[in-house]
Structure 1
Amino acid sequence: EGIRDGISASHETVMKIRDVRTQVKELGERAERLGKGDGLQKQAAGLAEKLTALELELTNPEIKADEDSLNYEPKLDHDFAYLAAVVAASDRRPTAGSNEMYRQLKGRLDAVIARFEALLASDVPEFSRAAEEIRLPRIAPAPKIDPR
């Protein structure tokens, strides 16, 4: 594993979070339109909020251009990209400081991914069961994305 893998894992997790959040919001809105689920809509809003909080630990969607990082707080994906640039700029192997920074970033990333997986194992199935009770389809998280 390396910096590239950290960037890939961060981006893959963001895509999965967005996919699940979209499905959750759509099911909540559908239930509301059908007049079947005021409780489901509230549950959808709460789950979407948790997913957004995780996404915002990984990336800042306000940053769209290079100079935006001066105005908006860069997040974990930016930290990995910056570390990659520092390491790539050297003709030598990464310094002890770069290695330590990688370990810290990897630890933060692993913690966010673990919290996302915990949501997928608890809150998402609970929401899916509530949706099924009013005859709406289950949430289906995207499978692992293999970039190769």
Structure 2
Amino acid sequence: MASNTPNIDLYKKNPITDGDDTFNIETMLNENWDKVDTEVGDLKTSRDNLSTQMTELVKVKQNITILSTGWVDDTTTSGYWYYDISDADIYVNTVVDVNIALVDIDKVKINLISVTDSSDGYARIYAIQQPTENFTADIVITKVVF
């Protein structure tokens, strides 16, 4: 006896009980292929939508110059110097990773601490001492969604 698949309802003949039936191209092939094509099309649309959403959630900004000037001496309060990286894609609900370019790593040595603050329009990086040279970094901005 014929049956249907559980996921996309493809029509299946049972070779034992339906072996003598005449092969029907429309029901046994064409209708099944139309169902498969529809499902694949839906999956592609879902994948494209997800890709668009991911692009909106994670942004990479490359070759951002961090100037040696513009650092604020906050050593009396926090013990550190800080520098605000301005960017319109940074909000309170973002995580910002600052990745120093390998060619510039010696310019910051171990002075750079981390990004610990992000707010609307900027992320703050901290250093033990004010860098004496400009350096380049990539920033990865990840929007946190709850």
TM-score for both structures, normalised by structure 1: 0.30
Structure number with higher relative contact order (C-alpha < 8 Å, ≥ 6 residues apart): 1
More helix by share: 1
More strand by share: 2
TM-score for both structures, normalised by structure 2: 0.30
